[in-house]
Amino acid sequence: MTPLAIVCLAMLGGFLGGVLGALTGLGGGIIVVPLLTLGLHLPILEAVGVSLFCVMSISVGAAPRFVGTGLSNVRVALFLQVAASAGALIGARLSHDVPARALFLIFGLVMLYNAVLSLLPSRKTEAAAESSPLAQRLKLAGRYQEGGEWYSYEVTNPLPALGIMLGAGMLSALLGIGSGVFKVMAMDKLMRLPFKVSTATSNFMIGITAATSAGYYLAHGDVPPLLAAPVILGSLGGAYLGGHWMKVLPVQQLRRVFAVVLMCVAVEMLYKGVAS
């Protein structure tokens, strides 16, 4: 394959990751890593290194939409980020010692989990009536703006959520994904944040988590500029357009179709893990 073809494919992968990330909440690394490993036969560590930049681009590209709306709870993000970044440091340290086949297997399983979760009907979490004592001490409760109105909410269970963030950070660093599904799950189900607040806060966090581990991949020469640069351009464009398209496209149906595609790719990743 010529360098020009590689650039075009990488940009397309980043664009798809950005669009689908914005539309369905799944995307970024979940698309870019399989594309680079299965499609371009890149070593998985390089695919992970490039993918972390895709994740950062999507986080940075989507962030201006949330600034000033209160949707991104910065206090919750900072508190949980201590564990997520610690996990990312551990994951980054392990990344060059874990065998490639194990990475393929873990990636395949995480993809399957993501796909199954997006096929299941979502249940709305009941809002917490009162913040837990630790959440009160940390002043985690907040408010957000929607349709010109401000809505307040309380926060519970900050400590158990820290444990999940440690694992999410490790997975992010090992697999080059944002781990947004795990972060949103912890904030939505455990901490009882409104779903929109959970997704916006997760978007803020995935960029910092990816930045924590990206230095390792960069230092080890696992971020080829010819791939990372077009992936970044594609992701930024995709995240921007996806944010606009979500108002006009049937997001729920897209999510289901995408989940089926994810399942097929997950099986391919698992196969590669077993066969290699």
* Residues making contact with another protein (CB under 8 A): 2-4, 7, 53, 56-57, 59-61, 63-64, 67-68, 74-75, 78-79, 81-82, 85-86, 88-89, 92-93, 95-97, 138-139, 207-208, 210-226, 228-230, 232-233, 236
* Shortest separation between residue 44's beta carbon and another protein, angstroms: 15
For another protein, give the closer residue by CB, 226 or 260.
226
Report helix, strand or coil for 230: helix
Distances (CA, A) of 82 to 24, 176, 205, 259: 27, 19, 10, 31
* Shortest separation between residue 59's beta carbon and another protein, angstroms: 7
Strands (E), 10-160: 142-146, 149-153
For another protein, give the closer residue by CB, 148 or 225.
225
Report helix, strand or coil for 127: coil
For another protein, give the closer residue by CB, 31 or 236.
236
For another protein, give the closer residue by CB, 61 or 194.
61
For another protein, give the closer residue by CB, 10 or 270.
10
* Shortest separation between residue 264's beta carbon and another protein, angstroms: 30
* Shortest separation between residue 228's beta carbon and another protein, angstroms: 5
Amino acid, res. 163: G
* Shortest separation between residue 176's beta carbon and another protein, angstroms: 14
Q: φ, ψ for residue 231 (rounded to 5)?
A: -65, -40
Three-state SS letters, 54-92: HHHHHHHHHHHHCCCCCCCCHHHHHHHHHHHHHHHHHHH
For another protein, give the closer residue by CB, 92 or 266.
92
Bridge partners (DSSP) of residue 129 are none
Amino acid, res. 44: I
Smallest CA-to-CA distance from 26 within 50, 55, 48 is with 55
Cβ atoms of 58 and 18 within 8 Å: the answer is yes
What single DSSP character describes residue 144?
E
* Shortest separation between residue 63's beta carbon and another protein, angstroms: 5
